[in-house]
Structure 1
Amino acid sequence: MATDHARIANFGAGPSALPVSVLEEATKGLMNFQQTGVGIAEISHRSKEFQAFLGNLESLIRTQLDVPPTHRILFTQGGGSAQFSAVVLNLLARYRLLHPERNTEETVLDYVVTGSWSKKAAEEARRLGGGQVNVVVDSRQFSESGKAFDSIPPHAAYRFSPDPALIYYCENETVDGVEFSHDDASPASFPYHLLGGGTNALVPLVADYSSSFMCRPIPHLADHAIIYAGAQKNIGPAGLTILIAREDCIVDVDAAAKLGTTPVPLTLSYKTLADSGSLYNTPPVLSIYIAGLVLERMQRHGGLKHYEETNKRKAEKLYAALREGEGKGVLRRKVKEGSGSWMNVVFEVVGPDAEKAFLEGAEARGMTGLKGHRSVGGVRVSLYNAITEAEVDQLIAYIKEFVQ
């Protein structure tokens, strides 16, 4: 929907839309950050003003997500893809310190594969070595073709290892539009109850929350060892990665290397980040600044409760329109009922050249970023926090017009 800034509705999957008010405030900070006379992209990351801003960002995340004192909040670079490697190396180091007698053949890394990103994460774990990769479940086995990531598998299908170095899952698959339910009673929820070790065990559970971070509360947050998220979906521009790391996972990686595990590069070590207050090297200053402005705005608007309610309405309205279009044979949803993402809604337009006509019609009406990921095609609507209900209503009105 065009504004005075000649902006259109950006439904792209990332880098994603940001609130106009935040962008306006950020342009002021680019010229003069907090009355220092220096722009945010120029100021020293070790200045007292920036360090105070970083501390406030950490506080905003901790407060809104209710992060317990058992977990540290860290800031780094490299996006989710760098964490594919970092979580393996750090948690292998932790495992070696706990079990110095075990060799690579006796070390297992558990991966829940429900889409393109968790598949890539598992591939990186295999490439790095250091342990045997066990695919706990592969959701493609439950698709009609045996090849599509179109659902969350049933709890009975999961096969966790008795004592893995890590257990990895991706909460929301941006490419495939598949997401774990936040309702423990749902068959599409993550099966926390199947994790071993009893109630007091420090289970090495790792979650990629990149495309759903800060869109609603994180269930069982305290039960996770590591949660990470690239900022460029809901809370900022590309370049910043946020980590929520349990204290027992911030280990002396050099001590582990002396016991035979793979040495961890300094900038990938969680201990390096924690010991330096996320300032071992220059962090992505501008991305941190904009993320801070977004989090401040979220707090003013009612925090996660408000965004959870709004995002639920947005998704439900859109899925209802898609079901209607499916009933008329014009649209085809790509994800099974109950497993659909709130953030990335995927579907196909039926008929020769129909998808092209749909996308061109959307562009003509001021809506962009709707083309599906190049690996799977189709249409993808990303409903991140900055996408307003009015923009969703505009898209739904167009979908109904197109279906007619």
Structure 2
Amino acid sequence: MSDGRVINFGAGPSALPASVLEEAAKGLLNFNGTGIGIAEISHRSKEFTAFLAEVESLIRSQLDVPETHSILFTQGGGSAQFSAVVLNLLARHHLLNPDLPERDLDYVVTGSWSKKAAEEARRLGGGRVNVVVDARASSKDGRTFDSIPAHASYSFTSPNPALIYYCENETVDGVEFSNDASSPASFPFHLLPQNTPLLPLVGDYSSSFMSRPIPRLADHAIIYAGAQKNIGPAGLTILIVRKDCLVDVDAAAKLGAAPVPLTMAYKTLADNSSVYNTPAVLPIYISGLVLRRSAEQGGVQYYEALNKRKADKLYAAIKEGEARGVFRAKVKEGSGSLMNVVFDVVGDGAEAKFISGAEALGMKAIKGHRSVGGIRVSLYNAVTEEQTDVIVAFMKSFLAQ
């Protein structure tokens, strides 16, 4: 490419819009006319706190977040939230049920990240971890994550769990819940415990946040997302927390709950408007610029339609390659992610040839995650339809060879 930039299909940190990067470069020198660069300015300055409030407003309006939920900004990515959701929701559960002898934590395991989340819950202790469903049981080989399980496979056994966790999009495995409630690959909201008010439902939306609407957002206790997919650079984590989950963790500890580090306690973040300690100032700034641009283009509804068009083109090319015995889909039809499209290139040395051919044409970061191999093409919001057309054209030329 003439400016030296390539097409970045990486799974994260991912592509960002060039116009945003150009605007952010100006802010690095002079943020909002302060004469101070955004990476230098105080996180407690009136200019930055006003910008932080705007970022919150942009998320709230585009996702239609109700006033029952707070929007918080923290650090540590999704992996830190594997721990934080357990600690905060166990604290809440102790306050609501101080005399309960045992506490249940329900995990829907559909891929590598939800598997890691369940493992972290076991490591922390404090409750019995129940695997509501393990998608590997219904896979082709019984070992891989290649689909969203059928609704009949789920078993929510506890009427009063401390939390119910799922990962909406599995970045490594390319599996994603459908937004269509009638689809067998949708999340089974109708199977959740019906007699529990204010369900402790937790959704990891890291890889799809701001790419499409979130189904039944108001029914969630916590939604979290690392910014480094669709919104900004690595270093920022965004939380949407229902206000009944902003609990006094010290009071809960007196009732037997595990102590919660102050910087991981949701109430601490909320009480201090996400600036209890220094937040990720630069990632917040770039994320705000991305969110402004998103609002101008039509928000999550615009991106949902765009991302579906991109993914449909890519899946069609994979299907054509399967018919010729050159490509092999890793995910069953209907369960494929709009964000992370995964497949194999069949034949000795064929995968390496495919990757080197793509790189020669300026397409980077398409090698699959080290744990599963193959090819992974990530189609986050900043990846344009025209850029998607480039890799689809390459795939067809590869088939012709």
TM-score over 0.5 (shorter chain):
yes
Query: RMSD over aligned Cα, in angstroms?
Result: 0.7
Aligned to 2:321: 325
Amino acid at match of 1:133: V
Aligned to 1:86: 84
Aligned to 2:374: 378
Report the CA distance between 1:197 and its aligned residue.
2.7
Report the CA distance between 1:173 and its aligned residue.
0.1
What does the per-residue CA deviation read over 1:77-128, in whole Å, with 9 as the maximum and x for residues that have no partner?
A: 000000000000000000000000013xx20100000000000000000000
Aligned to 1:109: 105
Provide TM-score, normalisation by structure 2: 0.99
- Runs of 4 or more consecutive aligned structure 1 residues displaced over 4 Å after TM superposition: none
CA distance in 2, matches of 1:401, 1:201: 55
Residue 351 of structure 1 aligns to a residue in which SS?
Answer: coil
Aligned to 2:173: 176
Aligned to 1:283: 279
Aligned to 1:49: 47
Report the CA distance between 1:196 and its aligned residue.
1.0
Report the CA distance between 1:249 and its aligned residue.
0.7
CA distance in 1, matches of 2:356, 2:159: 52
Return 5+ residue gaps in structure 2 as ranges: none
Aligned to 1:336: 332
Residue 52 of structure 1 aligns to a residue in which SS?
Answer: helix
What does the per-residue CA deviation read over 1:190-216, in whole Å, with 9 as the maximum and x for residues that have no partner?
A: 000011134x82110000000000000
What does the per-residue CA deviation read over 1:322-375, in whole Å, with 9 as the maximum and x for residues that have no partner?
A: 101111100000000100000000000000000000000000000001000000
Amino acid at match of 1:369: A
CA distance in 2, matches of 1:254, 1:43: 33
Return 5+ residue gaps in structure 1 as ranges: none
What does the per-residue CA deviation read over 1:286-329, in whole Å, with 9 as the maximum and x for residues that have no partner?
A: 00000000000111111111111101100111101110111110
Q: Does residue 195 of structure 1 match 2:192? A: yes
Residue 243 of structure 1 aligns to a residue in which SS?
Answer: strand
Question: What is the 5 A alignment of 1:4-403?
Answer: 5-103=3-101, 106-160=102-156, 161-198=158-195, 201-403=197-399
What does the per-residue CA deviation read over 1:171-228, in whole Å, with 9 as the maximum and x for residues that have no partner?
A: 0000000000000000000000011134x82110000000000000001100100000
Residue 377 of structure 1 aligns to a residue in which SS?
Answer: coil
Report the CA distance between 1:237 and its aligned residue.
0.1
What does the per-residue CA deviation read over 1:29-51, in whole Å, with 9 as the maximum and x for residues that have no partner?
A: 00000010000000000000000
Residue 271 of structure 1 aligns to a residue in which SS?
Answer: helix
Amino acid at match of 2:371: S
Amino acid at match of 1:20: A
Residue 132 of structure 2 aligns to a residue in which SS?
Answer: strand
Amino acid at match of 2:257: T
CA distance in 2, matches of 1:343, 1:201: 33
Residue 169 of structure 1 aligns to a residue in which SS?
Answer: strand
CA distance in 2, matches of 1:38, 1:64: 30
Amino acid at match of 1:42: E
CA distance in 2, matches of 1:171, 1:112: 10
CA distance in 1, matches of 2:299, 2:95: 39
What does the per-residue CA deviation read over 1:3-56, in whole Å, with 9 as the maximum and x for residues that have no partner?
A: 4x3111000000000000000000000000001000000000000000000000
**What percent of counterpart residues are identical?**
73
Amino acid at match of 2:122: R
Amino acid at match of 2:181: D
CA distance in 1, matches of 2:5, 2:223: 33
CA distance in 2, matches of 1:352, 1:112: 36
Report the CA distance between 1:379 and its aligned residue.
0.1
Amino acid at match of 1:365: L
Residue 32 of structure 2 aligns to a residue in which SS?
Answer: helix
CA distance in 2, matches of 1:223, 1:195: 11
